[in-house]
Structures are given as C-alpha cells and as structure tokens.
Amino acid sequence: MKFRKSLTCSLLVATISGLAACSSMDEVPKTTIQYAPVWEYAARTQGAVSVEKEWWKTFESDQLTQLIEIAQEKSPDAIIGGERVKQAELQMKIANASLFPSLAASASGGESRTKIDGGSWQNSGSTRAGLTANYEVDLWGGEAANRRSAKASFRATEFSNEATRLSIAAAVASAWFNYLALQERIETARKNVEIADRIQRIVDSLYRNGAASAADVAAQKTNLLSQQNALLPLQLQFDQTRAAIALLEGQVPQGYQLVNENILNIKIPTIDAGVPANVIVRRPDVASSEAQLQASSADVYAARTALLPSIQLSGNMGKSASELFALNPAVQSAGWSLSLAQTIFAGGRYVNQVRLSESRRVEMLEQYRQIILIALQEVDDALNRVNITQQQEINQQSIVEQASRSLRLNETRYREGDIDLQTLLDSQRSLFQAQDALVQQRLARLKAATDLYKALGGGWTSAN
C-alpha cells in the first residue's frame, strides 16, 4: 500500500512538473526586426499604381494576360502545388480524427472436435460478436497540439502554393518579355543586314567606277557576312524561349506559336512599393514560413506531453453462444475500463524528441527571420534596378538617335569621297549596337518591374 501511494505521489509530481514545463511551450516565438521607415531606393510615387492581384494587366498586353492565366491553370508546377495542398488538407483531417473515439466491430465463429482415448469424437462450436470503443482522453492537450500543428502545416502549404503561382506568373512575364526582345533584336539585325547590303552595292558601284579598291569590296563583304551570321544565335535563343514558354503553359514545344507584339510598345507601370514593414503581410512565402514556425511550436508542446501520463477509456459489449453461427440464446456482456499509463523508461526517446522539436523550432524561427530579410533586400534591389534601367533607357534612346544621324551623314560623305569605307562601317556598327542595346534596356526595365511586383508579393493577401 505504501508503495502504491508513493508511486501515485511521484506520478502527480511528474504531472504537475510536466504541465508547468508545457504551459509556455505552445507560445510562438517572435523575431525582432527593426524596419526602416522607407525603402532606400524608393521610386517616385506620383502616378504610381498599387500592387493588385492581377498585376500583369498593368503592362496592357492581352497576350501576356492570356499566357499567365493558362500557366496558372495548366503548368505542371501549378498542378503539383494544388495536389500538395490537397495532401496537406488530408493530413489535417487525419489529425482531427483524434477528436472522435475509435470503434471496432468483431465477429468470430468456429468448431472443434475432441476425442478422449477410447472414447468417441465430440463436436463443439462457438460464436461471438462484439463492439469495442476506445478513446484516449486528451488531458494535457497533446492531441490538440497535433491538430494545431497539422492546421498550421496546411496553411503553410497553401501559402507556399500561392508563392508558386506568383513565381509562375513572374516566370511567364519574364519569358514573354525576353521573347519580344529577341523578336525585336532579330528585326534590328535584319535591318542592319539590309543596310550592309545597301552599302555593299554602293561599294561595288564605286569599285566599278574606279573610286573604291578591291580591299574595300572585300571589307564590306566581310561586314555583310558578319551581320548575316549574327542572326543565327538570336534565332536560336528565340526558338528556345518560345519552347520555354510552351513548357510553362503545359504545352508541347513543337508547333507552339505566339502572337507577336512590339516590346517598345509594352507599358511599364510606376509601382507603389508602400513601406518596408508591410512586406511580412504581403508575401506568401513569408506567411508560409510563419505558419511553419507555428507548426513547430505546436510540435514542441506535443512532444512535451508525451512525457506525461496517458488516460485510455475503453468500452465493450457483445454476445457469445456455444453453438456455431447461432446467437440465440446467447450470453450478453458489457464493460468499460479506465487506464492510466506513464512511461518510466524509454531510453531517452521522448526527452530527445522534445529536444529535437525545440531545435527545429529554433531553425524555423531563424528561417522566418532570414526570409523577411531576403524579402526586404529583394524589394530594395528591384526598386534600384527600376530607377537605374529607366535612366539607362532614356540615355540609350538618345544614343540611337545620334548613331542613326551619324550613319546617314557618313553614307552621304562616303558617296562624295570625303571619308573612307572603314569610317562608314564603324558608323553602321555603332547604330546596330545602339539599337540592340536599346531593346535590351527595355527588356531590363520590364524585368525589373516584374521582379518588383514579385518581391512585393504580387498583390497577395491572406484570406485568414
């Protein structure tokens, strides 16, 4: 009797100590980040548009809108992300099943034959049917913690899927802009081939009239062939980009076609970036990391409760008869039991599980902090590139205008014999490079705007 009282007291002390330890473990730790009042490279806000859910429509490209809508529905990544959300939801439902008792029905029947030495065979049969119910009382909240963990994991998967959809939209936009840029660069290269061909005819005419040398003819022919050869890698990149867009759309690349647009006609919006502190509520990847942190905190609590006693409530009822497949007349039975169990020794398994859960929570906290810092850096980087690429395009436009004027003047001067062929070739090369650079600067601006939309969360907001 004294041993039983001592054991009961020990269990009570262990229970109280365990509850004291668990009481603070369900709290989600906070990360302290000092947010700046404004972005370091904040863009001008006059005429700026706020970030909306369908941010890609601000570029005013019908083809881009259609591509993104299809990709978010049919791309392999979008479908995979949707299935992962379903799996997380099913895991949450599995965890919620602990709210209900488990019921099990059983039935058995059998017959046996016995024989005593010297006697005859005796037949005997039996039949039994029963129903058993079991329920583990969630006295310390361990099962509730498991349910909270599953719900937080489900939310994390939902947010992660939203981040995937945002990445898909940004990838389609970048690929589409790259496609248009290559299309324009190919057109520019073809125009320069035409210019080179026109100059070739001029040189041939001057050579026939004795005003140009054979070396001039050969030099211009080399230039013409070089311009023609420059088309080939551009065409390869163009085809590869088209195939990449087809993959994003969930389509086969063979025979995939797109409607052409002029990249210089694509509108580039001025985007209102808001303030840095808003980044934690506007980005789905940050929300996903926060939900993972909540799940890890619940896991710590559940691991702690495994150290405490468990209470099992069971009930059963049934019928049995001494005849095969006959329950009438039968013996009826019913009963219930309440059991208390406490693990005394498990080789440190439960203690180490608690330590493992605590370590994972620290990891999740640092990951959450890191993702916020990365988000802040990505927004400022995108803002900086938006500003710089805009000024670069303005400057490049002036360079193209001057290079075009220089080529026109030098063509006239070459016909009149005022300059040599090399000067004319240099003018043509300068114009080609300036025009090609202008298209690439427009592409850089469009990609910077796309990256800024993505860094700001693409207009995402949590529904909860």
Which range of 47-61, 173-187, 314-328, 401-415 scores highest in mean pLDDT? It is 173-187
> Quick check: helix, strand or coil at residue 457?
coil
DSSP alpha helix (H) spans, 249-282: 279-282
pLDDT value at residue 415: 82
Average pLDDT over residues 107-124: 74
Average pLDDT over residues 113-139: 75
Higher pLDDT, 35 or 1: 35
How many other β-carbons are positioned within 10 Å of the β-carbon of residue 275? Answer: 12
Spatial separation of the C-alpha atoms in residues 221 and 196, rounded to whole Å: 8
pLDDT value at residue 3: 38
Task: Please tell me the least confidently modeled range out of 254-263, 328-337, 363-372, 382-391.
Answer: 328-337
How many other β-carbons are positioned within 10 Å of the β-carbon of residue 32? Answer: 5
Give residue-wise pLDDT tens across range 193-226: 888 888 888 888 888 888 788 888 898 888 889 8
On the question of pLDDT at 439 being above 70, the answer is yes
Task: Please tell me the least confidently modeled range out of 72-76, 93-97, 173-177, 447-451.
Answer: 93-97
For the record, the structure tokens of 76 come out as 């392999």
For the record, the structure tokens of 198 come out as 């026109």
**Dihedral of the alpha carbons of 313, 319, 321, 326, in degrees to the nearest 10:** -140
Average pLDDT over residues 350-360: 83
Task: Please tell me the least confidently modeled range out of 125-129, 202-206, 446-450.
Answer: 125-129
Q: Return the percentage of the chain with pLDDT > 90, whole number.
A: 33
> With bands split at pLDDT 50, 70 and 90, how would you rate the model's confidence at 247?
very high
How many other β-carbons are positioned within 10 Å of the β-carbon of residue 159? Answer: 23
On the question of pLDDT at 41 being above 60, the answer is yes
Average pLDDT over residues 25-49: 76
Overall CATH class of domain 21-99+141-307+349-455: mainly alpha
On the question of pLDDT at 14 being above 80, the answer is no
Spatial separation of the C-alpha atoms in residues 200 and 213, rounded to whole Å: 13
pLDDT value at residue 135: 74
Q: Structure pTM?
A: 0.80
Higher pLDDT, 240 or 421: 240
Spatial separation of the C-alpha atoms in residues 427 and 423, rounded to whole Å: 6
183: burial class by Cβ within 10 Å (0-12, 13-18, 19+)?
buried
Domain with CATH 2.20.200.10 in the chain: 103-114+122-137+308-342
Are 135 and 116 a contacting pair, CB within 8 Å? no
> With bands split at pLDDT 50, 70 and 90, how would you rate the model's confidence at 8?
very low
Average pLDDT of the chain to the nearest whole number: 83
Domain with CATH 1.20.1600.10 in the chain: 21-99+141-307+349-455
pLDDT value at residue 95: 81
pLDDT value at residue 238: 93
Average pLDDT over residues 419-425: 81
Cis peptide upstream of residue 29 (ω within 30 degrees of 0): no
> With bands split at pLDDT 50, 70 and 90, how would you rate the model's confidence at 10?
very low
Give residue-wise pLDDT tens across range 140-192: 778 788 888 888 889 999 999 999 999 999 999 999 999 999 999 998 888 88
For the record, the structure tokens of 128 come out as 């039994």
Which range of 1-5, 304-308, 380-384, 427-431 scores highest in mean pLDDT? It is 380-384
pLDDT value at residue 322: 65
Which range of 11-25, 99-113, 162-176, 321-335 scores highest in mean pLDDT? It is 162-176
pLDDT value at residue 38: 87
On the question of pLDDT at 237 being above 90, the answer is yes
> Quick check: helix, strand or coil at residue 252?
coil
pLDDT value at residue 140: 79
Single-letter residue type at 113 = R
User: The domain 103-114+122-137+308-342: what is its CATH number?
Assistant: 2.20.200.10
On the question of pLDDT at 324 being above 60, the answer is no
Tokens 């990544």 belong to 77
pLDDT value at residue 25: 47
